[in-house]
Amino acid sequence: MTAVTDHTDQADRPGDERPGDGRPGEDRSEDGAPENVPSAAGAEGQDRAEDTSENGRPDAASSGAGSPDDAEDTGSGTSGDGGRAARSDDASGKDAPEGASEAKPRARGEGDDPARAEDGPVWDDGLIARRVTETAPGRYQTPVVETASAVPALPAPLAYDGPLRSRLDALRELVGLSRTRLDSRTLAEAGRVLDEAAARRRLSGEHTVVAIAGATGSGKSQLFNALAGVAISETGVRRPTTSAPIACSWSDGAATLIDRLGIPGRLRRRPLQSAEAEAQLRGLVLVDLPDHDSAAVQHREQVDRVLALVDAVIWVVDPEKYADAVLHERYLRPLAGHAEVTFVVLNQVDRLPGEAADQVLDDLRRLLDEDGIALGEYGEPGATVLSLSALTGEGVPELRECLGQFVAERGAAARRISADLDAAAARLRPVYATGRRVGLSEEARDEFADRLADAVGAVATGEAAERAWRRNANRACGTPWLRLWRWYQDRLEPATGRLPVRTPADEEATARQRVEQAVRTVADRAAYGLPAPWAQAVREAAVRGAQGLPEALDDMATRATTPGGRPPRPGWWPVAVLAQASMTILQVIGGLWLVGQIVGVMSPNLGVPVLLMVAGIVGGPAVEWSSRMAARGPARRYGLEAERRLREAASGCGRARVLDPVAAELLRYREVREQYGRVMGTATAVAPVR
């Protein structure tokens, strides 16, 4: 059962009902509230026990207010209510104090106070207690009663400044870029901050919602009543006393803010109104919460829910439980970043003798410092720490003054959203930020290309091309007799029956293993230093690209090694061929000359034919040897060119299938890292990406 009482007077008076909603009016004494009323429940019970006059209205002498209140109530009634539009002079003036006749009943619009006419109708946005206006000293305060035609002035919505708006936009972009890479649980807190920031932005920027939270018996409700100036929240020794959040608003227009907290209309109150309180705390919405350590689970859930929605929190601690582990570990330490919207109040200092209050307060500051909460001292931003006694009123004016300055700044809501943003960014840091330089270096890319080149046999292909070029050069520039001899030896050499050392299937399996190893290595290099989700995304992209890569490399190697025509020949090649042909001709001529001399066809002369044959026999191998030496350079270049073509083809295939998808993931990470840097409010939040 909600431990809250309806702070209204004369609830049963039929003549004081508000037009339109049927809520009863309220009569108050000069200070705006019934005197000597310990709680709202006591005031209501006293009203029921009051004596009534013959026309059914309470006697003015026995009630807490005189007939001027009744006259003002009837003056605000709708036309046609004759019984409520006028009252008898006897009833209105009986036992009334001097000057009460100035507030005799009058018709609407006749003799109205100009100040009240300028103010216009007042909207109490569902709150039960009535706003009262200040009168001259010695006169009764007359409550303002709203008419059915009252139209509330909507407060201006909250506006975020440029940096905070930019950070929120960056967080929204960050969440959008990360949905395919991070699970929903990781992004849940960031999504909640965005939702709450959008919801708070649509509501009043002229009000500040402050919750009073604390442990059992810390005096939250007592402090709540002391700030309100009237017993709104019930206090007592029964625990828990407060079973539901209660809201108290110092100005109109806070209905939507209180609706957001889920506080029903029956738990909304207005404080004791005075000019000083109105000017000091205008715009404040104070919420009394249940105990955060309550034995009732629903009470703790309500505390956690409301704490996530309010603009600021007043933590009330007492000398016995100010070091409670539940308070520090569950609330203060996790909310250390919210120090600028946090008040920590040491209550019940009247129980501490001498300098004990200062000692306890110093120890409380020490604990808060250990929790990581910055203290707002010497003009520095941080939490406000005060000591007071809600029972005796000691220190309450100082807290009221601090709250007044805090509310007047109208920056609590934005600071709360900024602190929530910082907390969400801190939770996301493990999945976005890294202290290392991440990405693929040129060395890693070159190593990957070399591994693929080895897998397709680029070096062996180049060596084979070099040998083929040399063989062609030897065939073109070698002696014909030596070529005939080699051909003859090849035909006569018997088959040995020796099988190849490695079959094509074995070579293919080995090449596939090399490709897979190269992909794993480059994926590990690219993922090194990345946060776990992005490292996993990089590895998955590399694995997807590796599917079908060996077959693609085989097709590419086949096309790259297929000769496109006759290999290029150097300029000396025709000269060497002509020289070798000349040496052969010399040998033939010299041989025929000698044969002719032997058979007697020609005259004997051994010198010239022998010289010709020796020149041909020696010159042919010399030309062949010279051609072989000269062919080394072109053959080497030809082999290197073949190897280069195969390497480039393998590298291009690997880049298109593996490196480009990996680079795309790294680019996405760079984008989210930049957005994360904007969320953190700095451009150098993490190390750069290569």
Q: Which of 295, 384, 372, 288 is nearest to 331 (CA)?
A: 372
Residue pLDDT, tens place only, 617-637: 888 788 878 887 887 888 888
When mean pLDDT is compared across 82-91, 212-221, 282-291, 597-606, the lowest value belongs to 82-91
Burial class (CB in 10 A: 0-12, 13-18, 19+), 168: buried
- Which amino acid would we find at residue 490? D
| Structural domain ending residue among the three candidates 409, 425, 457 | 409
User: What is the arithmetic mean of pLDDT over 595-606?
Assistant: 79
Tally of CB atoms within 10 A around 579: 19
Residue the block writes with tokens 């604990």: 367
190 within some domain? no
Q: Between 133 and 516, where is the model more confident? A: 516
Instruction: Please report which confidence band the pLDDT of residue 11 belongs to, taking 50, 70 and 90 as the band edges.
Output: very low
Residues 109 and 215 in one domain: no
81-97 exposure pattern, b = at least 16 Cβ within 10 A, e = fewer: eeebbbbeeebbbeebe
Q: Does residue 461 have a pLDDT over 50?
A: yes
Radius of gyration over every alpha carbon of the chain, rounded to an integer in angstroms: 49
Residues 148 and 238 in one domain: no
User: What is the arithmetic mean of pLDDT over 513-538?
Assistant: 90
Residue 211 CB partners (closer than 8 Å, separation 6+)? 245, 286, 287, 288, 289, 306, 307, 310, 312, 313, 314
Residue pLDDT, tens place only, 372-406: 999 987 778 899 999 999 999 999 999 999 999 99
198 within some domain? no
Q: Does residue 329 have a pLDDT over 90?
A: yes
User: What is the arithmetic mean of pLDDT over 529-535?
Assistant: 89
Residue 566's pLDDT is what?
64
Residue 195's pLDDT is what?
96
Residues 220 and 353 in one domain: yes
Q: Name the residue range of residue 570's domain.
A: 442-486+504-680
Residues 136 and 211 in one domain: no
The C-alpha atoms of residue 257 and residue 178 are separated, in whole angstroms, by 32
The C-alpha atoms of residue 390 and residue 285 are separated, in whole angstroms, by 19
Q: How far is the CA of 125 from the CAs of 120, 129, 270, in angstroms?
A: 15, 11, 10
Q: Does residue 591 have a pLDDT over 90?
A: no
The C-alpha atoms of residue 158 and residue 23 are separated, in whole angstroms, by 31
Residues 540 and 605 in one domain: yes
549 within some domain? yes
Residue 322 CB partners (closer than 8 Å, separation 6+)? 346, 360, 363, 364, 367
Q: Does residue 29 have a pLDDT over 80?
A: no
Q: Does residue 446 have a pLDDT over 60?
A: yes
Residue pLDDT, tens place only, 178-209: 998 888 999 999 999 999 999 999 999 999 99
Instruction: Please report which confidence band the pLDDT of residue 565 belongs to, taking 50, 70 and 90 as the band edges.
Output: low
Instruction: Please report which confidence band the pLDDT of residue 571 belongs to, taking 50, 70 and 90 as the band edges.
Output: confident
Residue 512's pLDDT is what?
83
Helix (H, G, I), strand (E, B) or coil at 388: coil
Residues 592 and 647 in one domain: yes
- Which amino acid would we find at residue 493? E
Residue 562's pLDDT is what?
65
Instruction: Please report which confidence band the pLDDT of residue 120 belongs to, taking 50, 70 and 90 as the band edges.
Output: very low
Total domains in the fold of the chain: 3
Instruction: Please report which confidence band the pLDDT of residue 690 belongs to, taking 50, 70 and 90 as the band edges.
Output: low
Q: Which of 548, 525, 546, 527 is nearest to 536 (CA)?
A: 527
Residue 550's pLDDT is what?
83
Residues 347 and 257 in one domain: yes
Residues 224 and 355 in one domain: yes
Residues 269 and 377 in one domain: yes
Residues 221 and 141 in one domain: no
Residue 508's pLDDT is what?
67
DSSP, res 238: S
When mean pLDDT is compared across 7-11, 180-184, 330-334, 519-523, the lowest value belongs to 7-11
Residue pLDDT, tens place only, 58-67: 333 333 333 3
Residues 369 and 474 in one domain: no
Residues 449 and 404 in one domain: no
Q: What is the CATH number of the domain that holds 216?
A: 3.40.50.300
| Structural domain ending residue among the three candidates 107, 125, 152 | 152
Q: Does residue 147 have a pLDDT over 80?
A: no
Q: Between 567 and 270, where is the model more confident? A: 270
